[in-house]
Structure 1
Amino acid sequence: MTRNVARNRSPFSIWLAVISLCTAGLVGTYVLFVEAPPPRRIVIATGGKDGAYYRFAQLYANLLKSEGITLEVRSTQGSVENLKLLMDDDSDVRVAFVQTGIANSEQCDSLEALASLYREPLWIFYRGSKGIDRLTQLKQQRIAIGPEGSGTRGIALQLLKANGLGEKDDEFSALAGNLAAEALERGEIDVAFFVAGVDAKYVRKLLRDPEIHLAELTHAEAYERQFRFLSAVKIDEGLLDLQQNIPSHQIVLIAPAATLVAHRSLHPALVSLLLKVATKVHQQGDLLSNVGEFPSPKLTDLPLNPEAERYFRSGPPVLQRFMPFWLASMLDRLKIMIIPLIMLLMPLMRVAPPLVRWQTRRKIYLWYAELRRIDLRSIDGMTIEEADSSLEHLHRLEQQIARIGVPLSYMEEYYNLRLHLNLVRSRVLSILRGEAGHSQPGSHPGFRTEGGESTLAR
């Protein structure tokens, strides 16, 4: 029985098998162990469209767009509403600006702080000539503390409650921002609380109004000690306006901090990217902070995200420093596959060369089974018919062997095969010669008669 040479596999089939096994292992590792890629869209909750949170979120969105991430900015009533959206399982909000002093780490156990971004002073403006330096003096006053869901209302209620004032006994208004400032100027309210930056237009406007005064709390340091989310900040004389000397003397205010808060399900790669963007926006500081002071892991009232902690300790991930975000993220996620890849490749690379050698030699050696079968039959004895059939068989084998494709480095084995084929053929021919001596000349197709003598035709 002859073998079809076309069915002999080349050495490349061994390497193909090696590559296929490695690919299968890598695909299995990817499916089982590699985390999903970061989403291309994030929703961030801010505050009113006229507030600083909304303005900073727009800056974030522009910077993230260059990294291939879409940041959807969602306007809200403020920090309290932002927290509710973050904790709502049906909400798609995963990041939000939140004022410190609003979140309760026990109730917000699914949330983590990414960083504090800047200080937001608490401005308490009032009408009248009688000075106010204690919150206990605000009893029976018409006070604007902001709408439900705002950070201003949240911190105002905590401080007023600590001074014996409550919503049942005092008149609180939900006005905030420009509306509260205008109502205060018109005399519709007596006191207004604002949590805003020093660049807020309505704050600077009220500071210039001779009928409006800023409460300077004598217990600023006491508030800082009792409410850990607050810090006492000094505004030096003339800091806000040198020409008009505003303020006219140094004042001390208490200030919560604006923080970036995220749900724990936020993809880790996005944490470092958000902090990278926040650094670009806030690292220059403002009138109340030094260059490089923010973003900061301090002044937060929620547990710090582990990825954020690594960012502040070591800086941005190495890959993100030199590569686009999508490429750095992909390589970072695939690093877990290095170990299984090495474990697969090392034994396979050792096995592959012997397999290639075996596969190449197999092309040659598998013909020896045919030669051995014919050789054994020739030893045991053949009839003329069997010898003639074997000779034809050997002729076909020789034609097939001539077409074997083997590398030059294996030519020794190849030509040994051809020598051995000739050896077996010579044995068969010797049988034919011996048998032909007892038959009539020309009685076998392998012989012809020349001058009355039988000779081998091939």
Structure 2
Amino acid sequence: MSHIKLYSKFDLAREASVWKKIGIFYLPIVLLIAVAAAAIFFYVEPFPRQHTVLATEQRGTVTDQLGDGFQSFFERNGLPLQIESRTGLDEIEKDLRDPGSKINASFVVSGAGSPADYPGLVSLGNVAIAPLWLFYRGDAISVDDPFEYYRDKPIAIGAPGTVSQKLFKTLMELNNPGTGDKPNFLKLPHAEAADQLLAGNIDALFIVDAFSSPIVQRLLQSPDIKLMNFPLVDAYVRRLPFLQKVTVPRGGIDISEIRPPLDVAMLASGVNLLVEKDVHPTVQWAFLLAAREINLKTSNFFPSAGNLPQYKDRGFPLSPVATRFYTSGVPGFFGYLPFWLASLLENVWVVLFALFLLALPIFKKIVGYRGFASQKLLWLHFWELRYLEDELKDSRTAADVKSVLDHLRRLDDQVAATWVVDDQMRHYFNLRRCVASAIQDADKRIAALEKL
């Protein structure tokens, strides 16, 4: 048993020695492969090299709430995400257009911006819905076109550059062309406008925000404030495809007091998440999975909106990552591996698959490469023996022969340490015999020269 163990250790040592020699033999090819692998690694860029900066609107809005959810998801998965708050869409658009701006991701509500406004961005889809709320006070109002009704009445429409102000203008112009900016369209911040409406200083307030918005909730809970019904909601959706229909059911706000007393049909728009085209795929996967998690954990007051994220506003082109997400779903290994590793595999799986296909034939030929190197090493030893035999023949003194003898003995040690494949074994023993014969000849030459 001890003999087998010693033989195994010696066997492994010789195997390591020969592979070291094989590595030196193939060093130029190895270096070339290493350079190619480094180039592929640099091209694929498996990890983000820059921070992600997400622009949101003012505190309490739907985009601000989404930003908090995204930041929580990013932190849990070891990705940096910086949130930058802006007062309105105009400021966000200005930052996105500025090449020097650090913002590389933002929310854009469908209808408040067009793809032409964001040429360098791609979409990750709709990550939330933003209902269009028209609150008013006083007697119940039943009209076909609420915007025409408030054409000449005081109504707060949001601060300049906000989503609310932009969508109000779009909807007002739909059936009331040439309306423009009228003095009765009060461009007030939402919080101030809500205070004014509750105090009775204005008649109505138009706001685009989530059901969970503190301002929306404050107005919904006030018994003095009513919610406008849109009888022509289906017609609006037909004219403006980026909109969708949502309904506040009878008693949906307060079932004990049955508020509202009737179903209220409303319009809603999608909240698109746009990113710069060069935002790293890992970051895009994080945004998409965070949006899905937020939707699953959030109680959706408007179930007709469907599962989020989704690709509804097709005016914005999808990123390649989002295209895979919506067509193929989330890869299964995201459920088993750490996020960074799962996203890395998703980013480089094509390269890994290609390398695997290349590795198969290489693996099949590795024995041949090893055999070729084994044969080459033996032939190199044979050539060295040939040169030493020539030197031995030309030696005229005992000192010269002893020098050749030293080289022969080193060669014998090298040959003994050389591992060869099975079909080269006969050449190995033939070489050992030839070296031994040369050593014997050298010993005889030394003895003969020393007698002279």
Contact 1:272 1:317 in 2 (8 A): no
Report which of the two has the higher share of helix. 2
Deviation at 1:397, TM superposition (A): 4.7
Using a 3 Å threshold, how does the CA distance of structure 1 residues 391 and 446 change in structure 2: closer, same or farther?
Answer: farther
**1:296-375 matches, cutoff 5 A:** 296-335=310-349, 336=351, 339=354, 342=358, 345=362, 350-372=368-390, 374-375=392-393
Structure-1 separation of matches of 2:337 and 2:31: 26
Contact 1:94 1:263 in 2 (8 A): yes
Letter in structure 2 aligned against 1:12: K
Larger mean CA deviation between 205-214 and 191-200 belongs to: 205-214
Structure-2 separation of matches of 1:391 and 1:111: 81
**1:30-429 matches, cutoff 5 A:** 30-31=38-39, 34-36=43-45, 37-39=47-49, 41-129=51-139, 131-133=141-143, 134=145, 135-164=147-176, 166-284=179-297, 286-289=300-303, 293-335=307-349, 336=351, 339=354, 342=358, 345=362, 350-372=368-390, 374-375=392-393, 386=396, 391-392=401-402, 395-401=405-411, 403-404=413-414, 405-407=416-418, 410-423=428-441
Paired residue for 1:446?
451
Structure-1 separation of matches of 2:242 and 2:432: 85
Paired residue for 1:435?
none
Structure-2 separation of matches of 1:30 and 1:403: 39
Structure-2 separation of matches of 1:240 and 1:48: 25
For residues 376-408 of structure 1, the C-alpha deviation after alignment (integer angstroms, 9 at most, x for no partner) is: x6xxxxxxx937566555544555445445347
Larger mean CA deviation between 150-159 and 391-400 belongs to: 391-400
Structure-1 separation of matches of 2:39 and 2:410: 47
Larger mean CA deviation between 60-69 and 109-118 belongs to: 109-118
Using a 3 Å threshold, how does the CA distance of structure 1 residues 290 and 219 change in structure 2: closer, same or farther?
Answer: closer
Quote the RMSD (CA, aligned, Å): 3.2
Structure-1 separation of matches of 2:196 and 2:410: 104
Structure-1 separation of matches of 2:396 and 2:223: 128
Contact 2:392 2:401 in 1 (8 A): no
Letter in structure 2 aligned against 1:309: T
Deviation at 1:281, TM superposition (A): 0.4
SS at match of 1:114: strand
Contact 2:55 2:106 in 1 (8 A): yes
Structure-2 separation of matches of 1:136 and 1:293: 34
Deviation at 1:221, TM superposition (A): 1.3
Structure-2 separation of matches of 1:51 and 1:18: 63
Deviation at 1:19, TM superposition (A): 6.0
Larger mean CA deviation between 235-244 and 345-354 belongs to: 345-354
What 5-or-longer segments of structure 2 have no aligned partner?
Answer: 1-16, 420-424
Structure-1 separation of matches of 2:125 and 2:167: 19
SS at match of 1:45: strand
Contact 1:114 1:262 in 2 (8 A): yes
TM-score where L is the length of structure 2: 0.81
SS at match of 1:166: coil
Larger mean CA deviation between 189-198 and 31-40 belongs to: 31-40
SS at match of 2:310: coil
Corresponding residue pairs, total: 418
Letter in structure 2 aligned against 1:367: L
Q: Which has the larger radius of gyration?
A: 1
Name segments (4+ residues, structure 1) moved above 6 Å. none
Letter in structure 1 aligned against 2:121: L
TM-score where L is the length of structure 1: 0.80
Structure-2 separation of matches of 1:392 and 1:151: 96
For residues 80-119 of structure 1, the C-alpha deviation after alignment (integer angstroms, 9 at most, x for no partner) is: 4333322321211121122110121233222222121232
Structure-1 separation of matches of 2:353 and 2:368: 18
